[in-house]
Amino acid sequence: MKRHVLTLFELTAEEIHEVFALSHELKRDLAAGIREPILPGRVMAMLFEKQSLRTRVSFETAMAHLGGSTLFLGQDVGWGKRESAADFSQVLSSYVDVVVCRTTAHSRIEELAQYCTCPVINGLTDSAHPCQALADLFTLEEIHGKLEGKKLAFIGDSNNVAKSLAVCCAKLGMEFAVASPSGYTFDKPFLAELEREVPGAKLTQTAKPREAVRDAIGVYTDVWTSMGQEAESEQRKIAFKDYQVDVALMEGAPEGAVFLHCLPAKRGEEVTADVIDGHYSAVIPQAANRMHVQKGLIAWLLGERP
């Protein structure tokens, strides 16, 4: 059966654990020098409208390790310009086995998925970044073991990354605490959807970073100004000036708590260099896990792993 992964609302907790189990297995295989070509001849289209390092390279490498191949499609293919969305989506998915899409408005990927006859994976939209959140929680599981009942803190803008983390935490029985200034908290439609789709989700919203990090096994932040928000940069520097993750804030979390960031980072803004480059930081293994978890997700979606 065709499955899309546009947000993590579309996966059950059991399915997330299945993806994690596959990812762990494939990561162990790779460490042992095994790159079993379980997807020979399969082709992934990568439809990207925004810049990318981690998402693009990790997906391309993952597919190569699995024995398949990728096509990188930029603006030249004319998505939404040269022909109707229905024609474009049906033709594209008649050529390939899976599509990874990184675009602006979430409605664009929903329209693409509506007509695609193969799975569509969200590589980032303005409201969701599910593959990032899966890799983040996978990283915490590697470090801290079973996640249920534990807490993750997010400091900063309640953006697409924070939303996907909130959903993933809720699905896996974790508490998610967000510290944001006024005007940068979760919007009401998202909160209503979270409550409707994952009743009883443990979500805390606060304006106090120290309150958010208390009892948290991970402290997460993102840039204050994301792609497409450059005109708001100065305004955001003022709004988020009290939301920097520094050593003093990390010391407010329990011993063993790690620092996470989806990268790229701006040292001296949302995080100090002694945190992101110091002993708290798990950002490099976190970034590396993008490939391992996406490999598990691809294998899970295409049903080629026993």
Nearest-angstrom CA–CA distance, 240 and 114:
38
Q: What is the pLDDT of residue 303?
A: 81
Instruction: Identify the helix (H) or strand (E) that includes residue 122.
Output: strand 120-124
Residue 199 has pLDDT above 50, yes or no: yes
Q: What is the pLDDT of residue 306?
A: 45
How does 184-195 read in b/e, with b if 16+ C-beta sit within 10 Å? bbbeeebbeebe
Given pLDDT bands bounded at 50, 70 and 90, which one contains residue 227?
Answer: confident
Residue 90 has pLDDT above 50, yes or no: yes
Mean pLDDT of the chain: 96
**Region 227-244: what's the mean pLDDT?**
93
Tracing tokens 């029985």 back to the chain, one arrives at: 173
Q: What is the pLDDT of residue 212?
A: 98
Given pLDDT bands bounded at 50, 70 and 90, which one contains residue 1?
Answer: low
Instruction: Please calculate the CA angle 163-169-175 and round it to the nearest 5 degrees.
Output: 105
Q: Is the peptide bond before 285 cis (omega within 30 degrees of 0)?
A: no
Residue 2 has pLDDT above 90, yes or no: no
Q: Which residues are catalytic?
A: 102, 129, 132, 222, 262, 290
Nearest-angstrom CA–CA distance, 132 and 105:
17
Contact 250, 243 (CB under 8 A): no
**Region 6-29: what's the mean pLDDT?**
98
Kindly report the pTM of this predicted structure.
Answer: 0.97
Residue 5 has pLDDT above 60, yes or no: yes
Residue 276 has pLDDT above 70, yes or no: yes
**Region 241-266: what's the mean pLDDT?**
98
Nearest-angstrom CA–CA distance, 231 and 283:
27
Q: Is the dihedral of CA 244, 245, 248, 252 positive or negative?
A: positive
Nearest-angstrom CA–CA distance, 207 and 28:
41
In sequence order, the 6+-apart residues with CB closer than 8 A to the CB of 275 are 245, 246, 247, 250, 259, 281
Question: Cα torsion at 93, 46, 190, 186 (round to 10°)?
Answer: -170
299 to each of 8, 136, 138, 220, 235, how far by Cα in Å?
A: 17, 19, 16, 28, 43
> At residue 121, what is the residue type?
I
Residue 304 has pLDDT above 70, yes or no: no
Alpha helix positions (H), 75-148: 85-95, 106-115, 130-144
Percent of the chain with pLDDT over 90: 94
Percent of the chain with pLDDT over 70: 99
Q: How many CA atoms lie within 13 A of 17 on its CB side?
A: 10
